[in-house]
Structure 1
Amino acid sequence: MAQPRKSSRKPKIVLSELDYDRLTGLAEAVEDRSPEIAEELQAEIDRANVVPNGSVPANVVQMGSIIEYQSDGGETKSVTLVFPGDADIASGRISILTPIGTALIGLSPGQSITWTARDGKEHQLTVVSVKQPEAQPAPQA
């Protein structure tokens, strides 16, 4: 009996116009010093379905989203996807410029993706839930 093959096809993803623009700029900004990272991020951006700002469903990973995912080892983790200057692994704030950060962008619960860590090992993760950060109240005058 033949073994089922893992699909190397990546899941469909969605990006807002704002995230598309900001991430494209970020990929271009790091291209000279980190070409592999820039190329991987640009590949994810290029395959996204880009929709108007405010049209991304609330359960889709966007910049600032809080994501709960299950690793291929069965461990469940919760992280927040952030820009590089806001990254803090100890606080669970992972940069979009990390392999796992790039893999998460645009996914929704139930979707899985295979990603390659910086050590060259392949991993798979499955998104369990996505929460958007709470809107900050406007400052009082």
Structure 2
Amino acid sequence: MKDHIQITESDYIQLCGLINSQRNLKLTEVKNLAFLGAELKRAQKVADEKLTPGFVTMNSLIEIQDLDTGRFMQVKLVYPKDADFKKGNISVLSPLGAALLGYRAGSVVSFDVPKGTKRMEIRNIIYQDETSSAEPV
């Protein structure tokens, strides 16, 4: 059974619009969209101001750990137009981005990559738009 995930109503609306606007996609992109769509369908939607702290939302800055290599990374979950892997900006349409959305700190997420399945633990939510008053450092 999958863990409970939670997303804000505004993220839900924007992400559904993003999914519906995609055209001329490669097969891998279609799979990523299908995965994200399935996650959105099962997510508990909450008003932005009622979001429980500690859940990954759009524009969250997150510390994750690759459970296969032990490597730690800081990533920011962003919309595709803002994605830049070298800067740590991970698109919500990527396998990792779609897997992170809606999970809380302490959760282990898994996602498929060409060489198999990766597992990441969400170690910390460093910054989250809905519950932070200051910009991330």
Task: Flag whether TM exceeds 0.5 (same fold).
Answer: yes
TM-score (norm 1): 0.83
Pick the aligned partner of 1:84 from 60, 66, 80. 80
Q: How does 1:103-118 map to 2 (within 5 A)?
A: 103-117=99-113
* Cα-Cα RMSD: 1.8
Count how many residue pairs are aligned between Structure 1 and Structure 2.
Answer: 128
Q: Which runs of 4+ in 1 moved over 6 A?
A: none
Deviations 1:2-41 (A, max 9, x none): xxxxxxx321110010011111111112265242121111
- For 1:57 and 1:100, the matched residues in 2 are separated by 22
Unaligned runs of 5+ in 2: none
Corresponding residue number in structure 2 for 1:47? 42
Deviations 1:71-129 (A, max 9, x none): 12211110000000011111101100100000000111111111112x15101111000
Amino acid across the alignment from 2:123? V
TM-score (norm 2): 0.85
Amino acid across the alignment from 2:7? L
Q: In terms of Rg, which structure is larger?
A: 1
Q: Please tell me whether residue 128 in structure 1 is matched to residue 123 in structure 2.
A: yes
Inter-CA distance 90–10: structure 2 relative to 1 (3 Å threshold)? same
More helix by share: 2
- How far the C-alpha of 1:135 sits from its partner, in A, is 5.0
- For 1:38 and 1:31, the matched residues in 2 are separated by 11
- For 1:109 and 1:127, the matched residues in 2 are separated by 5
Deviations 1:20-66 (A, max 9, x none): 11111111122652421211110111111111121112311100000
